[in-house]
Structure 1
Amino acid sequence: MEAMMTGMINNIFFIIFPIVVYQLLTTTGQRNFFVSHRLSLTILFSISIILCMMFPYQVVSEDYIFDLRQVPMILGALYGGPLVSAVLFLVAAITRIIIGGDGMYIAVLNQLIIAAGVPFLRPMYMRINRLMKVVLVFIISIVSLLFNMLAGHFFFGDPIHDIIEIWLVLMLNQGAITALTALLIEHIQRQEYMFNSLLKHEKMETVSHFAAAVSHELRNPLQSIKGFVQLMKEYDYSRDKQIEFHEMVLKEIESAEDLIDDYLVYAKPTYGQLEASSVSCEVQHVLKIMVPYANGKGVEMHITEMDGNAEILMDRHKFQQAIVNIIRNGIEAMSNGGMLAIAIKSTPSKVSVHITDEGIGMTKEEVRRLGEPYFSSKIKGTGLGMMVTYSIVSQMNGQIFVDSEKGKGTEFRLEFPNLTNSIKK
């Protein structure tokens, strides 16, 4: 009995392992059982059949040695179709002939019937619900073993009344394992369908958020431009006033162009434009630009630590844009003024840029949603700036970590691979 249980557990493992390997090796969102990976799954199921036959489980005596080769054969025929079924039959038949024994002919005949008959049930199998699929594979499994029992009686004179209990146990075991394996496959396919549906929904939601964000931001400069054009059409302004209006129109057009550039940064990655640059030089350049803006808001900016040797692969202009976005958000978070601290640190493996403000801070939910399109903690914000920042950092093989507490401020930590130390190695 112990040997029987060990053999059965081994056979169950041989059946489950192709499905596990399939899950590990295929990409989420691209799993379509036996359709998009027919060759690899046929090979895996063939290995499963061979292992089941090489390591069978034994019942009562040497005269009755059984295995679960029919489980992958039945499921392969139902999910893979006639071609897969034919390949699995050849594998099973050749292996059974090599093993030999008195029951070889019955076994090969049984495998032939499964390989030839089960694929005809495939169209119906694909249309019915999961419960009916489980019932159908259970019945097919029972019928296949029933054929073996009756064939043994007619060809070898095995007394059915002496072995009926053994066959009933085998039928129930194989039927249950076949049904559970089919249920597992159906569960995988259902999860894959739900994942693809969710992915499609998220893409559509992202597009709608983009459309809302861009249209919202473009509407303001366009309305201003429209207003100035209408004024100049209806009234005869002096040349100086017209020049003033022209400058305002150009300013609004530049604002619209900047928004479109931000959108393109996110939509069109900058791979292939990265070069080795000093992090401290680029950060100091940004600070010079942002000092007037910070002073106007009553914010003091301080460098607390600066590693001048730190270098990373970057697109200089995009890196500056990402730092500007974070610093600007930090300044705007301190409506009553405060201090914004910047530090550049490095280890042998990474370079980190720390930007810490004393602003209003964020909740954990707000931190989690940073970088999503059209999410912003600011009343009039669209979230496009932080979304672009996350995209830029990701394109440079970096990561953004945010530590924030409501009412106490926020720290942004940007981490990148350390180019200087990796070159030395």
Structure 2
Amino acid sequence: MSELENTFNFSELEDDGLDIAAIFGDTGTAEPLPIPEPEPADAPEDTGESAPEAERSQKQPAPEVEKKDAQADGETDLFAALAAGPKEAAKPARNDQKATGQVSLFDKPPIFSYGGAKDAIEDTSMTFEELRIAKADDFPELAEGKKVSWTVEYGKTTKVIADPKGTTIASIKEEIEKSRAFLDALKKAKEKDRNPDCLVKPKVTAQSKGIAGYKGVFSTVEEAKRSDKTICLIPARDGRVYEFRKTEMGDFIAPKDNVIEFSAVRAGFTPALPLIPRDLMGQIISFFRCFMNEWEEFEALAHIYWDKEQEEYTVFIPRQRVSKARIDADLRGSALPEERYIHYADIHSHNSMAAKFSHTDDQDEKATRLYFVVGHLERFYPSITARMSCGGKYHEIDPSLVLEGIGEEFPADWLEQVERCESRSDTLLRKKDFLHAFAALGDMPEESRL
């Protein structure tokens, strides 16, 4: 097989989907290398040889000419060039890139990419650690090197940097460009993905919060004494936090009022279930009103459960003995099965009394769930109060947090029919401002009062 047949065929590579111009730059404008003309052979001397033998002696192979012809046609051995290095592979196209304005894939600078910001890295000889230090002013979270890791994403190739202090950006970029996986991915990529950026990405892998290194939180005083911490915070049985300090003089301990080392926490309830429907509450209120008439009135109790299978609320009425101000409910064996139902809330009535939880309610409602009391049932719209119990600790909540309200959407043109007048408070405020201004005017010279 001749050397011409061994030459890598670019046309076949392009048919397979690899854009050579995108990788090495556009070489289409380069003029072919001149083909040297073979020197004319001297006229053969008459040696008496036969004509066929003379012709055979004059026919010599010209492999160098054929090789130059093949190179003049723009063909090159792609993988041989890549084996020599991406920079060497890109050299033949650089003169043409200046003319066409194109930049080869291997000449594109890598890009620092973090937090939505992107910036070309012109000095690729720096290490990843040096790049981190350079960017720490703009991104303070990158200030601690031990908490930052690095990856390089180039096309479909991702490489994790094991040694940021000893590895340069250029070496990783060149290593990926020489890899068979990277070249194969380019060959199979769609047109829009054949000129990828080399993205250099830092990632914060650790974060410190809260308590300084010389402080610690301990469950007992004994545990705090055994520790190597100078300042110890200890939650106590009385619900307070105590600060324990070790000195050469001795150990000091006192209650700490503002524990800034701990996060702010507020009591409350965040529902994980839908709002209790308005029509279901209407049924319960109608049930309560059945125990009120013009001669006598009684309290009543209802339980609200969440059905996990049907994904809806259901009401359960336990067996109970009731009076004007007391309910004695028998809960033995009357609850719905826990495998399917969640006991979400208890709701009881105070008939015509106010919707306030009593001391008896505080003694009975200790389980962790929601509780409602409905009062003034003689009115068209009764009053309702809601609270939660967290292990027997109560906290009132807004009923609208867990109950559907009575508000509905209404036509917008209703608002156009209403004109707001000045309220009495606005009138009084304006009068007060006038009096202040008048008093100030009395202190001014006469010529300045106009």
TM range (shorter): under 0.3
Q: Which has the higher contact order (CA 8 A, sep 6+)?
A: 1
> Which structure has the greater CA radius of gyration?
2
TM-score by length of 1: 0.21
Structure with more strand by fraction: 2
Q: TM-score, normalised by structure 2?
A: 0.20
Higher helix residue share = 1
